[in-house]
Amino acid sequence: MITSVLDELAGGALIGLSASLFLLLNGRIAGISGIFGGLLKPKAGDIGWRAAFIGGLVLAGLIFALTAPEMVVSTSTRSTGIVALAGVIVGFGVRLGNGCTSGHGVCGLSRVSRRSIVATSVFMGTGMLTASLFQLLNGGAG
């Protein structure tokens, strides 16, 4: 339990440090949806760093899955179609909110961006409400 909490604290600190360094050294926000979206509508000279950033995320995940497979466990009973549909819905929400949790929640809040404070409050509140309603409608089962 304590090791888990320390791991989570270290992970959070590393995410914050990385986002801060990315902004300080590159002048860019480390919002994943914005970085990925820039690959879908690329501008000249803007593809390399975006591809490297997304590639690094994927590669790190693969390395982690290969070196610690016991830590990468899916307990979802949802079908691939439902998971894909959920991903599309999240994508629409990200576009609607002009950013994702990493952009608004990590980078925007640390810059005290009003837009990010509102966005983060809305998506966190909606997530809590959805989880609570889901649990209530399923008779308390998670």
CA gap 69, 132 in Å, rounded: 31
Q: Give the pLDDT of residue 141.
A: 60
Largest CA distance in the chain: 53
Residue with tokens 């820039």: 38
For the chain, the domains span: 78-142
Inter-residue contact 110 to 20 (CB < 8 Å): yes
Q: Give the pLDDT of residue 54.
A: 93
Using pLDDT thresholds of 50, 70 and 90, give the confidence band for residue 125. very high
Q: What is the pLDDT of residues 19-35, one digit of tens each?
A: 889 989 988 888 888 88
Residue whose C-alpha is closest to residue 97's, from 14, 7, 37, 23: 37
